[in-house]
Amino acid sequence: MTVTSPADLTIHEAVMLLDEGTLSSVALTEAVLERILTSDNDVRAYLTLMPEAALEQAAQADTLRNALRTSGASLPLLGIPLALKDNLSTRGVPTSCGSRILEDYVPPFDATVVQRLKRAGAVLLGKTNLDEFAMGSSTENSAFFPTHNPWHMDCVPGGSSGGSAAAVAAGEALAALGSDTGGSVRQPAAFCGLVGLRPTYGRCSRYGLVAFASSLDQVGPIARDVNDAALLLSVIAGHDAQDSTSLPDAPLDMATALCGHDLRGLRVGVLVDHEGVGVQPAVKRAVLAAVDTLADLGAEMVDVQLPHSEFALAVYYLIAPAEASANLARFDGLRYGYRAAADTLEELYNRTRGEGFGAEVKRRLMLGTYALRAGYYEATYIKAQQARTLIRQDFEAAFAHVDVIVGPTSPVTAFRLGERLADPLQMYLADIFTLPQALAGLPALSLPCGFDEEGLPVGLQLTAPALEETRLLHVAHAYEQATAWHTRRPNLTCSN
């Protein structure tokens, strides 16, 4: 389609126009705010909007750009309007995590990734909806309201970073940050026809990301193309002394990542099916066609197996809730957040948490508490950690023979709102392809590779060895250059 509003530009297109002087950040930000005004009543991507602050930042960015022009210096995201998932702490701006228990919570500090976006000159539009504490795959577990998929308003945008993905797909932000614990950046990106990147565990600081499962959580970008995802990654990545699980700085070569269409010499492992999981025929077709495209670009296809990935779901749903049950113990109604009326401390804890948390969070806290119970710990939690080792070893063995692994991001395209709420296990099964990478700490990326019969986007997932984001982006970019899926935008038919 032809771009009719600056709100539909990619970051790199907008940067070009801003540098030329044919677009101002104020005009760009106004266009995005205008889109939010017309679309977000239906999409409902945002929990908090900061239009005045955003326009002020945009005006400052325009002034700064003029000043920098004479000196030849530049900031990578200067004047670019972005959105943040509402589990990233923002100084002076509510950070609810989609939960009643933090409904009125206003952090006194910025997450490191937020600081880095600000330092890079970004304009921050607001905070986006999510499944409560990032627990979910549809954004229906938000305590406030569900978000709709801009490609089909009756469908979920995926989750848990569904608000971020829906905002970017609808032109309500040029790009956004999400967080990925078991697929929460990649799956909504797939459902909304976007690029979503989960970085290597430890590549990006978790400081100020409200913790869900600390050994799995990573912040990642959701963007309209690979170039934009790479740009955002380069801004938010890097060691942070505030996060003891942050890795030392590792190379990230954007010039190499975004050059060339030639994949000769690249060995690609293909994994399309999964034991016991029905992959939707349209998803399978699109992924296999993408594999052909990679072969046309010169890549060599190699058989790989990840024999223990059939255990990934069971492992994840013991380890992540166990970590969550420890992390969410801090929400006790004493120092911040919701407090229920109670006469005793014990009653205060129980009622605050019973009333403040939604059903999915309670379910997982119970599951985690069960797994960590004295006497059951060895058979459940330790067993899951041992299986996690086997899953990691599968990847090590596979990457001895291949450079990247490709497959579907999700076995299905976006499903209908309400369709999977009654059966949590069915909902969890939608994450089957994104869990193994999270458990192994590997970087993985989802990008658009086609559409189903209903016009819903299909995501292709690429996985690389730890810290090989450059390779991941290179393959994704080459594929993107050979296809046009990423240029499509949803037809927003709004009710007002």
Partner 1 sequence: MLLTREEVTQIAALARLALTDTEITLFQKQLTAILDYTALLQKLETGAVPPTATVLPLHTVLREDVPGACLRQDETLFNAPQTQAGYFLVPPIMVKE
DSSP assignment of 139-185, as one string? STT-SS----BTTBTTB---SSSHHHHHHHHTTSSSEEEEEESSSTT
Pick the closer one to partner 1 by CB: 439 or 449: 439
Q: Of 4-12, 150-158, 256-264, 331-339, which segment contacts partner 1 by CB under 8 A?
A: 331-339
State phi, psi for 5 to the nearest 5 degrees. Answer: -130, 145
Residues 215, 293, 481, 483: which binds partner 1 (CB under 8 A)? 215
Is residue 202 part of the contact set for partner 1 (CB under 8 A)?
yes
Interface size with partner 1, residues (CB under 8 A): 71
Q: Write out the two tokens for 104.
A: 């009125």
Is residue 355 part of the contact set for partner 1 (CB under 8 A)?
yes
Is residue 383 part of the contact set for partner 1 (CB under 8 A)?
yes
Give which of 191, 171, 151, 247 is closest to 4, Cα–Cα.
Answer: 171
Pick the closer one to partner 1 by CB: 81 or 183: 183
The active-site residue out of 85, 142, 205, 309 is: 85
Q: Please give the torsion angle defined by the CA atoms of residues 50, 52, 53 and 58, in that order, rounded to the nearest 10 degrees.
A: 120
Is-catalytic flag, 161? no
Is-catalytic flag, 383? no
Is residue 106 part of the contact set for partner 1 (CB under 8 A)?
yes
Binders of partner 1 among residues 118 to 157 (CB under 8 A) are none
Q: Write out the two tokens for 65.
A: 């750009």
Question: From the CB of 138, what's the least distance to partner 1, in Å?
Answer: 16
CB 408, CB 448: distance < 8 Å = no
- CA 444, CA 469: separation in Å to the nearest integer? 8
In Å, what is the CA distance from 160 to each residue of 133, 179, 188, 217, 386?
A: 8, 8, 7, 12, 27
Is residue 48 part of the contact set for partner 1 (CB under 8 A)?
no
Is residue 334 part of the contact set for partner 1 (CB under 8 A)?
yes
- CA 257, CA 21: separation in Å to the nearest integer? 28
CB 82, CB 105: distance < 8 Å = no
Question: From the CB of 412, what's the least distance to partner 1, in Å?
Answer: 19
Question: From the CB of 34, what's the least distance to partner 1, in Å?
Answer: 34
Residues 100, 118, 363, 488: which binds partner 1 (CB under 8 A)? 363
Is residue 384 part of the contact set for partner 1 (CB under 8 A)?
yes
Residues 253, 332, 419, 452: which binds partner 1 (CB under 8 A)? 332
Pick the closer one to partner 1 by CB: 5 or 389: 389
The active-site residue out of 25, 39, 99, 160 is: 160
Is-catalytic flag, 184? yes
Is residue 397 part of the contact set for partner 1 (CB under 8 A)?
no
Q: Is the peptide bond before 160 cis (omega within 30 degrees of 0)?
A: yes
Binders of partner 1 among residues 410 to 429 (CB under 8 A) are 424-425, 428
- CA 50, CA 53: separation in Å to the nearest integer? 5
Q: 163 exposed, middle or buried (CB, 10 Å; 0-12, 13-18, 19+)?
A: buried
Q: Write out the two tokens for 486.
A: 């990423």
Residues 133, 191, 212, 338: which binds partner 1 (CB under 8 A)? 338
448 three-class SS: strand
Is residue 108 part of the contact set for partner 1 (CB under 8 A)?
yes
**Residue 381 neighbours by CB under 8 Å, 6+ apart:** 318, 319, 322, 371, 372
Q: Of 154-162, 224-232, 310-318, 454-462, which segment contacts partner 1 by CB under 8 A?
A: 310-318
Is residue 359 part of the contact set for partner 1 (CB under 8 A)?
yes
222 three-class SS: strand
Helix 11-20 to helix 25-43 angle, to the nearest 10 degrees? 150
Question: From the CB of 465, what's the least distance to partner 1, in Å?
Answer: 12
Pick the closer one to partner 1 by CB: 91 or 284: 91
Q: Of 15-23, 226-234, 254-262, 334-342, which segment contacts partner 1 by CB under 8 A?
A: 334-342
Task: Provide the mask over 217-256, with x wherever binding to partner 1 is found by CB under 8 A and - wherever it is not.
Answer: ------------------------x--xx-x---------
